[in-house]
């Protein structure tokens, strides 16, 4: 099957800044994909290149098999982008903005779909309101609707929840998940790593224009992850387990295990030493820890 | 095609929603020029045989207003969209360079013609005779607005800031329009300035337009048509090239 997005050795330089350095990966149709990285990692540059807002110096990008330069029109028809910056046309109402956006994609009489978008994004009662009069969160919703007027199979959201209240974040994600279940491919960048962790099945991490990691989320978490266990014991920690100990907190010993299978060994040592376990808990690594670790130079 | 129609309609609505500022204001300005200049100069100057200065001034003011407003329409719309960032909504869809150019151009022409009609309506009763060649009038009105509308597109794409656009307007567009024979016949100028005026394409717009009203001008209307048409073709090609190449629009 054609990849929803295929990125082949894409490089882009702005003056002395290498914004993208030979980035390659693919996103399959129907995937929920996260693109992560600190500010300046090249996420937005990559999205701009996908959207045809900028042209790569070298390499190719295909959206649903259409080259973003050679077949720009088809590529744009299949892609919906929610830009990061909050932008709007102050001359028009919400409905006007959506009707115009449909028209730019060559779509007439899009009212039924526009009504549905307004409804799903909680904008129905704002349809006649001028864009200027909307709050930031509401403007963001309109931008999501604008990206979807042409029902694109591939949807890219560049930090859609930055500076947006909790309620909108939740309703927005519910809607995006619904789109994903209906078969749309979703790519998102976000600063809220727990969003990427709950929503996405695969993750790419960028740093200084380079692809650092590209993994299935669970795999990334699993093998990046030294797991920690916290033990409250009736007696002292046996000497054989001392090397695993990383710290002590609230009278609990925190041990680091290379693999969760090592837990069995720990419990055996405790039985042998006849030390009673009063409390045991396992801390799963979250994406944030992996992210911080990678961005500080550690490779997974 | 529907993309072009949509953008054209959006551009029309954009200026029409603020018509007080985009149509009424230039009409009032032109009326003030007409009142003041015709009062001051009507006793002294007869530009063409049998044509009073008051009547002579009217087509010049109409053309000047059309030209300035056609330029203002495309240039200000583009720079506003660029600075506020909402131009992204035009760059993401599959609009062709021709659709993009055509929509901005046609909206600029419409704004120019609406303002021109307004100026004509308030100044004609100062003594404009019935037009002798209406087709020339229409041709020069449309082409003149087209040239300045296209120049507005180029300036709007080129400028990064409002003050750059203002400089373009104040140091290029204003001198070109004011020194084009709006207020005088260039035959009254010393030879050097007459020659310089012949290098100004806006002069040919006004002269050709005026020919349509009075049946006489400083040069042949065919020469004017060739210069104005040629300027339009050159600027339109340049503008299409800029849009197609993504100059300052796509990085």
pLDDT at residue A102 is higher than 90: yes
Nearest-by-Cβ selection for A83 from B3, B88, B95: B88
Strands A79-82 and A5-14: unpaired
Chain A residues with beta carbon closer than 8 angstroms to that of B13? 91-92, 96
Residue A54 makes CB contacts below 8 A (sequence gap 6+) with A12, A45, A48, B250, B251
pLDDT at residue A224, rounded to an integer = 61
User: Measured between alpha carbons, how far is A254 from A248 in angstroms, rounded to an integer?
Assistant: 6
pLDDT (mean) for B167-195: 88
Q: Are B109 and B163 in contact (CB under 8 A)?
A: no
Residue A250 makes CB contacts below 8 A (sequence gap 6+) with none
pLDDT at residue A19 is higher than 70: yes
- Interchain proximity B251–A14, CB inside 8 Å: yes
| B181/chain A closest Cα distance in angstroms | 37
Closest Cα in chain A to B5:
A103
Chain B residues with beta carbon closer than 8 angstroms to that of A10? none
| B98/chain A closest Cα distance in angstroms | 13
Beta bridge partners of A202: A33, A216
- Interchain proximity A101–B93, CB inside 8 Å: yes
Q: Is the dihedral of CA B130, B132, B134, B139 positive or negative?
A: negative
User: Measured between alpha carbons, how far is A256 from A251 in angstroms, rounded to an integer?
Assistant: 16
Q: What's phi and psi for B48, nearest 5 deg?
A: -120, 155
Nearest-by-Cβ selection for B85 from A85, A101, A107: A85
Q: What's phi and psi for B129, nearest 5 deg?
A: -75, 170
Domain boundaries, chain B: 2-245
A38-52, A96-110, A194-208, B4-18: least confident range: A194-208
Q: Which residues of A30-63 are buried (b: 16+ CB within 10 A; e: fewer)?
A: bbbbbbbbeeebbbbbbbbbbbbbbbbeebbbbb
Helices vs strands, H then E, count in chain B = 12, 0
Burial of A238 (0-12, 13-18, 19+ CB in 10 A): middle
- Do A259 and A155 belong together in one domain? no
pLDDT at residue B237, rounded to an integer = 97
- Do A239 and A152 belong together in one domain? no
How many domains would you assign to chain A?
2
pLDDT (mean) for A91-112: 95
User: What is the distance in angstroms between the CA of the first residue and the CA of the last residue of chain A?
Assistant: 30
- Do A84 and A122 belong together in one domain? yes
Which of B92, B98, B102 is the best mutation test for A, with the most CBs of A within 10 A? B92
Evaluate whether residue A63 is within a structural domain: yes
ipTM: 0.90
- Do A127 and A65 belong together in one domain? yes
User: What sections of chain B are H helices per DSSP?
Assistant: 2-16, 19, 25-41, 53-84, 88-91, 97-123, 134-158, 162-168, 174-178, 191-197, 201-214, 221-245
Helices vs strands, H then E, count in chain A = 10, 14
Evaluate whether residue A187 is within a structural domain: yes
B248 touches chain A (CB under 8 A): no
Q: Is the dihedral of CA B27, B72, B7, A184 positive or negative?
A: negative
- Interchain proximity B13–A92, CB inside 8 Å: yes
Beta bridge partners of A253: A231, A248
pLDDT at residue B44 is higher than 70: no
Evaluate whether residue A269 is within a structural domain: yes
- Do A9 and A106 belong together in one domain? yes
Computed over every residue of chain A, the mean pLDDT equals 88
pLDDT at residue A223, rounded to an integer = 59
- Do A212 and A105 belong together in one domain? yes
pLDDT at residue A77 is higher than 60: yes
Encoded tokens for B188: 């009254």
Beta bridge partners of A108: none
Cα atoms found within 13 Å of the Cα of residue B219, Cβ hemisphere only: 22
A42 touches chain B (CB under 8 A): no
- Do A257 and A171 belong together in one domain? no
Q: What's phi and psi for A176, nearest 5 deg?
A: -65, -35
Asked which of A204, A221, A238 is the last residue of a domain, the reply is A221
Beta bridge partners of A205: A36, A213
The owner of tokens 């704002």 is A126
pLDDT at residue A82, rounded to an integer = 94
Evaluate whether residue A298 is within a structural domain: no
pLDDT at residue A295 is higher than 80: no
A73-87, A215-229, B72-86: least confident range: A215-229
pLDDT (mean) for B202-212: 95
Which of B76, B86, B90 is the best mutation test for A, with the most CBs of A within 10 A? B86
Computed over every residue of chain B, the mean pLDDT equals 93
Q: What's phi and psi for B183, nearest 5 deg?
A: -100, -5
Alpha carbon distances (Å) from A284 to A221, A227, A229, A290: 9, 6, 9, 11
Q: Are B150 and B239 in contact (CB under 8 A)?
A: yes
Closest Cα in chain B to A100:
B6
- Do A106 and A56 belong together in one domain? yes
DSSP A260: G
User: Measured between alpha carbons, how far is A256 from A276 in angstroms, rounded to an integer?
Assistant: 19
A73 touches chain B (CB under 8 A): yes
Q: Are A81 and A51 in contact (CB under 8 A)?
A: yes
Q: What's phi and psi for B193, nearest 5 deg?
A: -70, -25
pLDDT winner (highest mean) among A192-201, B47-56, B152-161: B152-161
A72 touches chain B (CB under 8 A): yes
Chain A residues with beta carbon closer than 8 angstroms to that of B5? 103
- Interchain proximity B94–A106, CB inside 8 Å: yes
Q: In what order do the strands lie in the sheet with A227-233?
A: A245-249, A252-257, A227-233, A277-283
- Do A212 and A277 belong together in one domain? no
pLDDT (mean) for B102-119: 97
- Do A195 and A261 belong together in one domain? no
pLDDT at residue A297, rounded to an integer = 67
Alpha carbon distances (Å) from B222 to A38, B139, B140, B234: 63, 11, 11, 18
- Do A231 and A217 belong together in one domain? no
Evaluate whether residue A197 is within a structural domain: yes
Q: Are A287 and A193 in contact (CB under 8 A)?
A: yes
User: Measured between alpha carbons, how far is B139 from B52 in angstroms, rounded to an integer?
Assistant: 24
Which of A12, A79, A103 is the best mutation test for B, with the most CBs of B within 10 A? A103
pLDDT at residue A300, rounded to an integer = 46
| A283/chain B closest Cα distance in angstroms | 44
User: Measured between alpha carbons, how far is A63 from A61 in angstroms, rounded to an integer?
Assistant: 7
Greatest CA span in chain B, whole angstroms?
A: 59
A145-159, A163-177, B201-215: least confident range: A163-177
Asked which of A221, A254, A271 is the last residue of a domain, the reply is A221
Nearest-by-Cβ selection for A100 from B6, B85, B91: B6
Q: Are A205 and A291 in contact (CB under 8 A)?
A: yes
User: Measured between alpha carbons, how far is A266 from A241 in angstroms, rounded to an integer?
Assistant: 7
Which of A15, A66, A106 is the best mutation test for B, with the most CBs of B within 10 A? A106
| A192/chain B closest Cα distance in angstroms | 25
pLDDT (mean) for A251-269: 84
Evaluate whether residue A300 is within a structural domain: no
pLDDT (mean) for B29-56: 84
- Do A110 and A194 belong together in one domain? yes
pLDDT at residue A52, rounded to an integer = 93
pLDDT (mean) for A154-171: 84
- Structural domain span for residue A37: 5-221
Nearest-by-Cβ selection for B3 from A79, A90, A106: A106
- Interchain proximity B7–A72, CB inside 8 Å: no
Encoded tokens for B125: 């009763």
Evaluate whether residue A289 is within a structural domain: no
The owner of tokens 């090592």 is A262
Residue B192: CB atoms within 10 Å:
8
- Among B80, B142, B70, B139, smallest CA distance to B107 is for B70
CATH code where residue A24 lies = 3.40.50.300
Q: What's phi and psi for A107, nearest 5 deg?
A: -100, 120
Q: Which residues of B47-69 are buried (b: 16+ CB within 10 A; e: fewer)?
A: bbeebbbbbbbbbbbbbbbbbbb
pLDDT at residue A216 is higher than 90: no
- Among B66, B39, B65, smallest CA distance to B53 is for B39
Evaluate whether residue A292 is within a structural domain: no
User: Measured between alpha carbons, how far is A36 from A32 in angstroms, rounded to an integer?
Assistant: 13
């Amino acid at each position: 099957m054609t990849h929803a997005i295929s990125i082949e050795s894409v490089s882009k330089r702005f003056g002395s800044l290498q914004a993208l350095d030979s980035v390659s990966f693919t996103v399959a149709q129907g995937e929920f994909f996260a693109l992560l990285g600190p500010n300046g990692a090249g996420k937005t540059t990559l999205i701009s290149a996908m959207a045809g807002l900028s042209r790569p110096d070298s390499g190719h990008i295909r959206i649903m098999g259409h080259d973003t330069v050679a077949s720009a029109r088809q590529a744009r028809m299949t892609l919906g982008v929610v830009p990061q910056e909050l932008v709007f046309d102050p001359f028009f109402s919400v409905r006007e903005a959506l009707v115009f956006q449909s028209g730019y994609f060559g779509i007439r009489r899009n009212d039924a779909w526009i009504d549905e978008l307004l409804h799903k994004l909680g904008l129905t009662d704002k349809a006649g309101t001028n864009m200027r009069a909307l709050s930031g969160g509401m403007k963001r919703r309109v931008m999501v609707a604008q990206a979807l007027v042409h029902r694109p199979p591939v949807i890219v959201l560049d930090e859609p929840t930055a500076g947006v209240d909790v309620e909108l974040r939740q309703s927005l994600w519910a809607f995006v998940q619904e789109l994903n279940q209906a078969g749309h491919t979703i790519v998102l960048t976000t600063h809220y790593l727990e969003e990427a962790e709950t929503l996405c099945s695969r993750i790419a991490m960028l740093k200084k224009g380079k692809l650092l990691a590209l993994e299935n989320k669970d795999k990334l978490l699993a093998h990046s992850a030294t797991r920690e266990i916290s033990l409250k014991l009736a007696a002292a920690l046996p000497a054989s387990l001392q090397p695993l100990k990383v710290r002590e907190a609230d009278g609990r010993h925190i041990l680091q295990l290379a693999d969760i299978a090592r837990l069995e060994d720990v419990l055996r040592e405790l039985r042998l030493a006849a030390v009673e376990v009063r409390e045991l808990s396992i801390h799963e690594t979250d994406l944030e820890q992996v992210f911080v670790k990678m961005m500080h130079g550690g490779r997974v | 095609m529907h993309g072009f129609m949509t953008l054209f309609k959006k551009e029309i609505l954009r200026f029409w929603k603020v018509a007080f500022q985009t149509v009424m204001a230039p009409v009032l300005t032109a009326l003030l020029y007409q009142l003041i200049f015709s009062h001051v100069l009507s006793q002294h100057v007869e530009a063409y045989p049998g044509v009073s200065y008051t009547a002579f001034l009217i087509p010049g003011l109409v053309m000047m207003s059309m030209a300035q407003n056609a330029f203002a329409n495309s240039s200000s719309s583009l720079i506003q969209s660029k600075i506020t960032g909402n131009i992204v909504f035009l760059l993401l869809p599959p609009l062709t360079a021709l659709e993009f150019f055509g929509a901005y151009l046609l909206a600029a022409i419409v704004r120019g013609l609406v303002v021109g009609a307004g100026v004509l309506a308030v100044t004609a009763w100062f003594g404009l005779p019935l037009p002798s060649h209406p087709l020339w009038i229409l041709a020069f009105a449309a082409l003149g607005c087209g040239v300045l509308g296209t120049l507005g597109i180029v300036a709007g794409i080129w400028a990064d800031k409002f003050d750059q656009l203002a400089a373009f307007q104040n140091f290029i567009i204003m001198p070109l329009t004011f020194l084009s024979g709006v207020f005088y016949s260039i035959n009254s100028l010393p030879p050097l300035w007459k020659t310089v005026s012949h290098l100004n394409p806006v002069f040919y717009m006004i002269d050709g337009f005026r020919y349509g009203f009075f049946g006489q001008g400083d040069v042949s209307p065919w020469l004017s048509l060739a210069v104005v048409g040629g300027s339009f073709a050159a600027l339109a090609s340049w503008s299409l090239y800029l849009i197609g190449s993504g100059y300052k629009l796509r990085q």
